Amino acid sequence: MALVRGRRQSKLGLILPEITERRPRFSPPLPPTASQQPTTTASSAASEYETVQVLGHGNGGTVYKVIHKKTSNLFALKVVHAGSDPTMRRQIFREMEILRRTDSPFVVKCHQIFEKPDGDIAILMEYMDAGTLDSLSKTGGLLTERTLANVARQVLNGLNYLHAHKIIHRDIKPANLLVNKNMDVKIADFGVSKIMCRMLDTCDSYVGTCAYMSPERFDPDSYGANYNGYSGDIWGLGLTILELYMGHFPFLLTGQKPDWATLMCAICFGEPPSLPEAVSDEFRSFIECCLQKDSGKRWTASQLLSHPFL
Ligand SMILES: Nc1ncnc2c1ncn2[C@@H]1O[C@H](COP(=O)(O)OP(=O)(O)OP(=O)(O)O)[C@@H](O)[C@H]1O
């Protein structure tokens, strides 16, 4: 059942691509060859790595910067205390499954997975030395259009790859996009993602970070004819780019994230957030293509990759 009954207020007047082009195009098969897949290893192998520092804490786990003692290579090690909590175990196994399957320069690379007898799981990932886009934007000030186009192109390449492999991220936001000092941007944190069994499966679960949820996640009846989830990732990207430009969460001027009900009303009944007068037409159009309230009118990742803004 829909969570809200909303009024349609899409007034963005875009020229939309042909309907046949709106579906994600599907390409290479998964999984990758066995040699590419990260192996699951007994926890004793984890002793080859030494902790350097804590990088951050997530839902149920901690991420450490570690060094491989023999080679001095740096990695990030996410340790999740899955224990016997079924929700936590489901989440971490989903993340492991997706990280095992993916092999793209735009998705954080998983090298190895360690399992301990007590149920703890550690995922050894490539280390992204500039943290997340969230922390970067808070410390580095506002980003230029050119930098944002570079960020958007990389995230779209990642989403195009994931969607082509029937994976929906479901939680695209600045805190889940990792970055390094070369400004390489990679999609991370697949804890609430979903692998679609068939291309037209509906995506009905209510997961992800509420603030970045698309209108059809709240109200599929009004905004999500044939909602399949892929377009929700595009909404998350649009809000992310807007947030990085504005320096605060776009649905609230003060930068404070509002409570759930206020947010839901703003997303479902309000106009999508817009850009100030000063920005280029290409940037404005790009954001409009991502933030169409009607999920069917939103551009796909592959279409956006040829948008003039990029
Ligand atoms: N590969 C990595 N390289 C560098 N830093 C990382 C890496 N992975 C995670 N981090 C850091 O660790 C923090 C926690 O990451 P994690 O994926 O556990 O959780 P989260 O996304 O913050 O939260 P949750 O999993 O609850 O949604 C991140 O915010 C980031 O700062």
Q: How far is the CA of 121 from the centre of ligand 1 (A)?
A: 15
Q: What ipTM score was computed for the predicted complex, to two decimals?
A: 0.94
CATH code, residues 133-304: 1.10.510.10
**Closest Cα to atom 5, ligand 1: which residue?**
131
pLDDT per residue over 123-169, tens digit each?
899 999 999 998 876 765 668 899 999 999 999 999 999 999 989 99
Q: State how far the Cα of 158 lies from the Cα of 155, in Å rounded to an integer.
A: 5
Please choose, from the candidates 190, 182, 119, the residue with its C-alpha nearest in 3D space to the C-alpha of residue 158: 190
Contact of 224 with 291, CB cutoff 8 Å: no
Q: How large is the average pLDDT for residues 14-34?
A: 37
Supply the mean pLDDT for the chain: 78
Closest ligand 1 atom number to CA of residue 126 = 1
Domain boundaries, the chain: 6-126, 133-304
Top pLDDT among 275 and 308 is at 308
Ligand 1 pocket by C-beta < 6 Å: which residues?
55-56, 58-59, 61, 63, 76, 78, 108, 125-128, 131-132, 175-176, 178, 188-189, 191
CATH code, residues 6-126: 3.30.200.20
Long-range contacts of range 97-101, CB-CB < 8 Å, 24 or more positions apart?
97/195, 98/167, 98/190, 98/193, 98/195, 99/38, 99/123, 99/125, 99/190, 100/31, 100/37, 100/38, 101/30, 101/31, 101/32, 101/37, 101/165, 101/167, 101/195
Confidence band (pLDDT; 50, 70, 90) for 98? confident
Closest ligand 1 atom number to CA of residue 61 = 18
